[in-house]
Amino acid sequence: MSVDRRSLLAGGLAGGLGAALAAGLPASLARALSIPADVRKGTIEDVAHVVILMQENRSFDHYFGAMAGVRGFGDAHPIPVAVGSDGAPRDVWTQTDRTVQPPADISPFHLSTEANFDLMRMEGTPHHWPDAQAAWDQGRMAHWPEAKTQRALGFYRREDIPFQYAMAEAFTLCDAYHCSVQTGTNTNRLFLFSGTNDPHGLAGGPVVDNVDDDLNKPDDGQPRYDWTTYAERLQAAGIDWRHYQNLADNFGDNPVQNFMAYRRAWRDEPGSDPALKDRALSTRDLDQLKADVLGGRLPQVSWIIGTAEGSEHPGPSSPAQGADYMARVIDALTADPAVWARTVLFINFDENDGFFDHVPPPAPPSPDPQAPGGFAGASTVSTAGEYHRLPAPGADGDTAEFRGRPYGLGPRVPMYVLSPWSRGGWVHSEVADHTSVIRFLERRFGVMEPNISAWRRAVCSDLTTAFDFATPNDTDFTRLLPDTTDARLRAAAIPHQPTPVLPADHSRPPQEPGERPARPTRYRLQATCDVNADRSEATLTFSVQGELAAVFHVYDRLHLDRVPRRYTVGAGESLTGVWALAPDGGRYDLWVLGPSGRVGHFVG
């Protein structure tokens, strides 16, 4: 039985819930889809509450590469990579693993939970600073399984993760949202909670790896942080905020536990701020979240730190268990329709674990001794704070070879935007990262975060274009979200973490046919090529006339072993790059990729 949204809204909330429940849809999800936005000014100021849930360790292609209408397996412009084990030209969909003999070429493969439900709890993959750097390889991205294992190329389809697909098709999914840095959990969460990893080492950083942030352990023996978090800035501005978590089971995912201001508050030291302990270091679980919604106490800004089982992290959790946790969050937030009518829920992922994603992350130019000026590319935007120039305290894997490399962005991760202003199954394709969530909060509440670098402010979206604040209730759609309880119980009962068996067929997997409605992007880009035969040079000119800066990746197909050049061009600016043609007998073959898959190819 289908439920027509127009009928739901025409009949009022009670009638809509009755029809949805008769169709077998949980009441919480029926409410989320049937509650219209409370339109007052028709702007972002109509948002009264922003709730942020950061899940764990999934890449975009791992979850949504097969979904119709997004930048997934059907991408018409995959980047070229160096030749494979057979010596033939190839693109990023064929990855070479030279750790086995003979070397193996591997493409993304389906983790069919219908054939083997145990794959719902598949073993995780390496996900730290050194292996992330190796997989990215400064943009070459040709040997992912050597750093992340072959199972890192496994992915799910609609039938495996029905709740995630249905939620994305009911609300808005971002297909250009990246984790902030090429490493694991703690560092990426620092960007969400504070906008930085302290790259200049002024307050305990730079941070590139996890730390032991147990509140009951001494402060010495581990790097501790002493810069200001965004929650503290909100508090100083009079904006109400809170963390919802089970403090005894938050999977170590609350990064403020390592900040000295919070640790002093935890110990009730003289001069510390007791509000930090109450708001960030207390147990307020999802039952309390629901009670606060019903009692009119939901803060203006809330961060939810999930349990280990609810986190979606491979091993302790799974997509099925994460789906059930997200359903409970939605249940809590929709308990009072008047509250949900003014609420935005962001659900993102801290990092990709080691799971493959085919899109090269936008980043400042990589250092390259062979390139003019010592960098492979250039930027019209300041890149201060975006390079790893100092040893990271306590990070054993941070060796000298990584000095000078860009921190990020990292691989794409899923990002759902749930709200009455983002219903309808939209796709949002502006480049974004974890600092984009803070930028959205800046736009709504007027509290600025100075920790965010100039480069990220220029390149990354503030996510406002993921919403229709003016006419949010005019969209006609029908979406049903499946129940999650049975799959969660089945996944929790899996006794081990299986390793998938790779298929013999290593061809690129198919993507579902069809399109999705797309939110507008603020890009106006141009790339041109001018060849000067007398000087034996090819000059590429990159221009940006839109509102957002853009990163142009340039792959020299005659020298794919070289570090790809990257050019960051600010809004209203242009930049040129020159290639000497004489060493290749006057030939050139330059492949250009910009935001949202925009591409140019110059050959001669």
The DSSP line for 300-341 is SEEEE---TTTS--BTTB-HHHHHHHHHHHHHHHTSSHHHHT
- Is 193 inside any structural domain? yes
Q: Do the Cβ atoms of 349 and 414 come closer than 8 Å?
A: yes
Indicate if 182 and 268 belong to the same structural domain: yes
Residues 6+ apart with CB under 8 A from 398: 129, 130, 208, 209, 391, 392
Residue 151 to residues 131, 261, 343, Cα–Cα distance (Å):
15, 41, 38
- Which residues, 6+ apart, have CB-to-CB distance to 469 below 8 Å? 37, 39, 42, 43, 44, 46, 421
Distance (Å, rounded) from C-alpha 360 to C-alpha 84? 18
Do residue 530 and residue 470 come from a single domain? Answer: no
Evaluate whether 431 touches 463 at the Cβ level (below 8 Å).
no
Handedness of CA 146, 151, 157, 163 (dihedral sign): negative
Domain annotation covers residue 462: yes
Q: How far is CA 242 from CA 48, 195, 297, 342, 391, in A?
A: 14, 18, 11, 17, 33
Same-domain check for residues 487 and 531: no
> Can you give the pLDDT at residue 501?
74
Read off the CATH number of the domain in which 317 is found.
Answer: 3.40.720.10
Q: Are residues 489 and 529 in the same domain?
A: no
User: What is the pLDDT at residue 506?
Assistant: 73
Cβ(164)–Cβ(323) below 8 Å: yes
Helix axes 185-194 and 434-445, enclosed angle (nearest 10): 10
DSSP string, 130-150: HHHHHHHGGGT---HHHHH-G
268 CB contacts (<8 Å, ≥6 apart)?
274, 277
> Has residue 341 been placed in a domain?
yes
**Cβ atoms of residues 97 and 126 within 8 Å:** no
d(CA 567, CA 499): 40
Same domain, 231 and 178: yes
Q: How many domains does the chain have?
A: 2
Question: Cα dist. 379→362, 432, 538, 564 in Å?
Answer: 12, 18, 19, 14
In a domain, 459, yes or no: yes
Domain boundary among 442, 473, 493: 493
Distance CA 70, CA 558 (A): 30
pLDDT for the residue numbered 22? 38
Residue 494 pLDDT: 74
Token pair 């992330």 is found at: 132
Tell whether 318 and 465 lie within a shared domain: yes
User: Cα–Cα distance between 555 and 176 in angstroms, integer?
Assistant: 20
Residue 28 has a pLDDT of: 58
Which residue type occupies 180?
Answer: S
Q: Do residues 467 and 555 both lie within one domain?
A: no
**Predicted TM-score of the model (pTM):** 0.93
Q: Which of 493, 508, 531 is the last residue of a domain?
A: 493
**pLDDT score, position 30:** 65
pLDDT < 50 positions in the chain: 1-26, 477-480
Q: How buried is 401 (Cβ within 10 angstroms: 0-12 exposed, 13-18 middle, 19+ buried)? A: exposed
What's the pLDDT score for residue 486?
74
- Helix (H) / strand (E) element for 555: namely strand 550-556
Asked if residue 7 is part of any domain, the answer here is: no
Give the pLDDT score at 483: 63
Lookup result for tokens 């090529």 = 529
* Count of residues in the chain: 604
- Helix (H), strand (E) at residue 539: strand 537-544
Name beta bridge partners: 415: 348
Same domain, 246 and 322: yes
State the helix-helix crossing angle for 319-333 and 485-492, rounded to 10 degrees.
140
Rounded to whole angstroms, how far apart are CA atoms 277 and 159?
43
pLDDT tens digits for 386-404? 999 999 999 989 999 999 9
Domain hosting residue 560, numbered range: 523-603
Residue 185 belongs to a domain: yes
Task: Give 267's contacts (C-beta < 8 A, 6+ positions apart).
Answer: none
Cβ burial of 22 (10 Å; 0-12, 13-18, 19+) is exposed
For residue 246, being part of any structural domain is answered with: yes
Q: Are residues 345 and 473 in the same domain?
A: yes
Q: Is residue 217 part of a domain?
A: yes
* Same-domain pairing of 575 and 489: no
Do 256 and 346 belong together in one domain?
A: yes
Question: 456-470: string of b/e by CB count within 10 Å (b at 16+)?
Answer: bbbbbbbbbbbbbbe
**Distance, CA of 307 to CA of 440 (rounded, Å):** 26
End-to-end Cα, the chain, rounded Å: 58
182 and 330 fall within a common domain: yes
> What gap in Å lies between CA 553 and CA 560, rounded to an integer?
13
The confidence score (pLDDT) of residue 504 equals 72
Residue 432 CB contacts under 8 Å (≥ 6 apart), including other chains: 174, 176, 177, 178, 415, 460, 461, 463
Whole-number pLDDT of residue 497: 74
Domain boundary residue among 471, 493, 515?
493
d(CA 249, CA 310): 10
Residue 553, domain CATH: 2.60.40.10
